[in-house]
Amino acid sequence: MTKKHIGVIGTGMMGTDIAHLFLLSGYPVSIYDIDEEKVKRAQEKITSKSKEIKEELLQVTTKIDDLSPCQFIVEAVPENLELKQQVFQELEQVVSPSAILASNTSGISIAKIAAVCEHPERVIGTHFFNPATKMPLVEVISGEHTVSATLEETLYIIEDIGKTPVHTKDVPGFIVNRIVTPMLNEAMHLLENEVSTTEEIDKAIKLAMGHPMGPLQLAEFIGLDTIYHFMEQIYEETKLAQ
Ligand SMILES: NC(=O)c1ccc[n+]([C@@H]2O[C@H](COP(=O)([O-])OP(=O)(O)OC[C@H]3O[C@@H](n4cnc5c(N)ncnc54)[C@H](O)[C@@H]3O)[C@@H](O)[C@H]2O)c1
């Protein structure tokens, strides 16, 4: 099968690594960001890390119109529903109706993003984990209207870049954040109640569960503001205390 032309929207922390991954697997990639500095920095980061990447495979732009030849687009703009909806609406005016539109959202409902689209059947979630070049998992999320052809093509592409997809329904937190967030919260409760120290809590979970990082170290790595945001999102939609 010929490699589809990939588009990546938003060249921050995740978008840069996602673009890098596709390039390493020989896909042509166009990266787009509204911020010229960010898109140039992404280009430098990718090409300096992987000198073997062929220059003609990577296109860099600050104009969304330049994504018109892309057939599989991953959006990685900040975690905000209105912003993502606006980007998807703009994108639909530019790409062909058969292009697949994937969001790297950590927890926003795919159905809500797709609700503003003319073709919601081609909208899907591809949740890469940080750092995307190293972490093997990609959660693939079917929204209410995502059709099986979109899912099958997405699973094929994710495997083709060497990742392991796990398919999930469009529920708050998907699988990983839904399970991990309460664990991090409980670890913080234990620390707050002086049940044990940071080091001992982390050591206990690492040794008991075989996790590479303890929950408190993981919480620092993800960022407490991001975790708080996940908790609020999951609580708002489920009313289950995290
Ligand atoms: N950071 C993580 O650990 C992580 C992990 C998994 C998923 N995610 C998800 O990935 C997405 C991106 O996160 P990030 O950490 O890479 O964010 P980031 O802030 O590092 O990057 C976002 C980029 O989007 C650009 N941008 C903003 N508005 C835009 C627009 N209208 N059009 C084009 N580009 C625009 C910004 O200039 C910036 O370069 C979010 O949905 C986030 O929840 C993040």
For 54, 102, 137, 198, the CA distances from 234, given in Å and listed in that order, are: 42, 21, 21, 26
Ligand 1 pocket test: which of 8, 14, 226 has the largest number of ligand atoms within 8 Å of its C-beta? 14
CA dihedral 131, 155, 4, 97 (to 10 degrees): -110
* Atom number of ligand 1 nearest to Cα 104: 10
Q: Are residues 140 and 52 in the same domain?
A: yes
Residue 144: exposure state from Cβ atoms within 10 A (0-12, 13-18, ≥19): middle
Domain match, 152 and 214 both? no
90 and 136 assigned to the same domain: yes
Q: What is the CA radius of gyration of the chain?
A: 19
Residues 43 and 127 in one domain: yes
Ligand 1 centroid to residue 191 C-alpha, Å: 31
What's the pLDDT tens digit per position in 81-115? 999 999 999 999 999 999 999 999 999 999 999 99
Output the pTM of the full model: 0.94
Q: Are residues 95 and 154 in the same domain?
A: yes
pLDDT band for position 55 (cuts 50, 70, 90): confident
Whether residues 64 and 158 share a domain: the answer is yes
Same domain assignment for residues 139 and 165? yes
**Residue of 106, 138, 227 with the most ligand 1 atoms within 8 Å of its CB, for mutation:** 106
Active site residues per annotation? 106, 127, 139, 177
- At 200 the three-state DSSP class reads helix
> Does 198 lie in the same domain as 160?
no
In this structure, the residues whose C-beta lies within 6 A of any atom of ligand 1 are: 9-15, 33-35, 38, 76-79, 87, 104-106, 128-130
Q: Which of 169, 197, 214 corresponds to the end of one domain?
A: 169
Please tell me the residue having the least CA distance from ligand 1 atom 27: 77
Range of the structural domain that residue 108 is part of: 6-169
Strand order in the sheet with 6-9: 58-61, 29-32, 6-9, 72-75, 100-103, 123-128, 137-142, 164-169
Q: Which of 134, 169, 204 is the last residue of a domain?
A: 169
**CA–CA separation, 110 vs 143, rounded Å?**
5
Q: How many CB atoms lie within 10 A of CB 131?
A: 12
**What is the spatial distance between Cα 8 and Cα 113, in angstroms, rounded to a whole number?**
17
**56 lies in some domain:** yes
Q: Are 165 and 193 contained in the same domain? A: no
Number of residues assigned to the chain:
242
**CATH number for the domain including 220?**
1.10.1040.10
240 pLDDT exceeds 80?
A: no
Ligand 1 centre distance from Cα of residue 204 (Å)? 33
224 within domain boundaries: yes
Tens-place pLDDT, residues 161-215: 999 999 999 999 999 999 999 999 999 999 999 999 999 999 999 999 999 999 9
**Which of 146, 169, 192 corresponds to the end of one domain?**
169
Co-location of 136 and 82 in the same domain = yes
Distance 15 CA to ligand 1 centre (A): 7
Atom number of ligand 1 nearest to Cα 11: 39
Q: Is residue 102 part of a domain?
A: yes
Q: How far, in Å, from the CA of 104 to the mean position of ligand 1?
A: 9
pLDDT at 50: 87
With respect to residue 57, please indicate whether it lies within any of the assigned structural domains: yes
Domain count, the chain: 2
Same domain, 201 and 143: no
Same domain, 164 and 189: no
